[in-house]
Amino acid sequence: MSGQMEHANLFEDARSHLEDVFAAIDVPGDARERLMQPNLSLQVSVPVRMDDGSLKVFPGWRVQYDTTLGPAKGGIRFHPDVSQAEVTTLSFWMAVKCAVVDLPYGGGKGGVKVDPKQLSKLELERLARSYIRAIADVVGPERDIPAPDVNTNATVMGWMADEFDHLARGKVPAAITGKPPALGGSKGRVAATGRGALHVLDLWAEREQRKPEQTTVAIQGFGNAAYHFARLAHERGYRIVAVSDSKGTIYSREGLDPDAIMEQKERNKRLHDMVYCDDSVCIAENVEKLERDELLTLKVDVLALAALENQVHEENVDQLRCGAVLEIANGPVTGQADVRLEERGVPVLPDVLANTGGVIVSYYEWVQNRSGERWAEEDINKRLAKRLKAQSDKVFERAERDGISYRKAAYRQGIERIAHAIQLRGQCQDSE
């Protein structure tokens, strides 16, 4: 199956959750119609002058799925498999997750179809600036606020923020989040997605009367979010027994030290002057090395999925031997696999709740930029924990009260809030 077909199916799979919500709660017809399609979908050409003097043009997109609750919010990914359907799906998930945790945002997402690891650092910077020039008319602090995603980070966001300032002929720090702190970025933002996922896991474990030191965890993926989740979970006492990336899996029954693994990866960085780390977790010593997909079949208490979409699907879901699934990535479990896990009684802590730490702290960065304040990291982490506890408790209580999965409870919570806001705006809003 081609990548485009997979992404088209991904969007239909993601949107299928709406049917469950519509069948379960009273969503007026106007809201249903609006939620089935994105508000805006922009395709752009992203020209880049290469170091050898040649010009390459990469396709890019920015999608705003729904902006009823506020300006669109969502990351930008640079990846060779990016497509319009994928970006649309991601923007849909962003709309839901912002509503689930009660942020004044809609859902947005962007991407460029490119392999950034094949670019020099200067080519990467030209790509970032060219993309912002291409989408500048539809983004900004009151309309759509981009942030990091796959293969983009604080360095890339800093370039984009600087380019937006040049276009605006002024300083507009609230236009981009995930920036370096020296350019107005928020303390705590880099670790926020991983920290938020750990908060959700902690809250669930507490309800299950499960102690961290009695809980084994396997983590698929070892990017930024996965590393910080692993580091913080290890500090809390969880036993991280396996980690995988695109090149393989490492396993240790006694437990792994995420900091030691990352230190070895950092030591072996070779490409792009520290922009990307191209080495594998498999360089770690004194561990058992397995095939990449073997991680999914390990018998562990929690399987944390922190790679890409559709990692657990109909063909491999019955091979999972975990007690619970934590979705740190976006959409790592397909709809059919999700149904199967529910039938088997395997709880899934869904992405629209579990990976909201990044967008929550991006919201705090946006607030700081607009007010001209700088908050301490301790204060930001406390605010993150407080918001996640309040909204996670609502999801868990709804799931228990209605006898439904955590995913269904989260979607109902988010869509209910969006639909209510759509109705409050009145029936003639499409005449703007």
**339 and 265 together in one domain:** yes
> Tell me, what CATH number does 292's domain have?
3.40.50.720
**202, 128: one domain:** no
pLDDT at 327: 98
**Both 234 and 265 in a single domain?**
yes
Establish if 183 belongs to a structural domain.
Answer: no
> Of 319, 351, 383, at which residue does a domain stop?
351
Residue that finishes a domain, picked among 304, 321, 351: 351
Of 351, 370, 390, the domain-final residue? 351
- Please report the pLDDT score of residue 121 as a whole number: 95
Question: Do residue 241 and residue 118 come from a single domain?
Answer: no
Domain that residue 341 falls in? 192-351
Q: Does any domain span residue 70? A: yes
272, 306: one domain: yes
For residue 303, being part of any structural domain is answered with yes
Q: Is the domain of 169 the same as that of 196?
A: no
Q: How many domains does the chain have?
A: 2
* Residue 240 lies inside a defined structural domain of this protein: yes
Same domain as 137, residue 23: yes
State the catalytic residues: 109
Quick check: is 289 in a domain? yes
Inside any domain, residue 92: yes
My answer on whether 154 and 77 are in the same domain is yes
Specify if 32 maps to a domain: yes
- Same domain assignment for residues 100 and 206: no
Give yes or no: residues 152 and 230 share one domain.
no
pTM of the model: 0.91
Report the CATH number that the domain containing residue 135 is assigned in CATH.
3.40.50.10860
Q: What is the pLDDT of residue 274?
A: 41
- What is the SS3 assignment for the chain? CCHHHHHHHHHHHHHHHHHHHHHHCCCCHHHHHHHCCCCEEEEEEEEEECCCCCEEEEEEEEEEEECCCCCEEEEEEEECCCCHHHHHHHHHHHHHHHHHCCCCCEEEEEEEECCHHHCCHHHHHHHHHHHHHHHHHHCECCCEEEEECCCCCHHHHHHHHHHHHHHHCCCCHHHCCCCCHHHCCCCCCCCHHHHHHHHHHHHHHHHCCCCHHHCEEEEECCCHHHHHHHHHHHHHCCEEEEEEECCEEEECCCCCCHHHHHHHHHHCCCCHHHCCCCCCHHHCCCCEEECHHHHHHCCCCEEEECCCCCCECCCCHHHCCCCEEEECCCCCECHHHHHHHHHHCCCEECHHHHCCHHHHHHHHHHHHHHHCCCCCHHHHHHHHHHHHHHHHHHHHHHHHHHCCCHHHHHHHHHHHHHHHHHHHCCCCHHHC
- Quick one: 165 and 211 in the same domain? no
Residues of the chain where predicted confidence (pLDDT) is lower than 50 = 1-5, 270-274, 431-432
Q: Are residues 127 and 221 in the same domain?
A: no
The per-residue pLDDT for 288 is 82
Specify if 374 maps to a domain: no
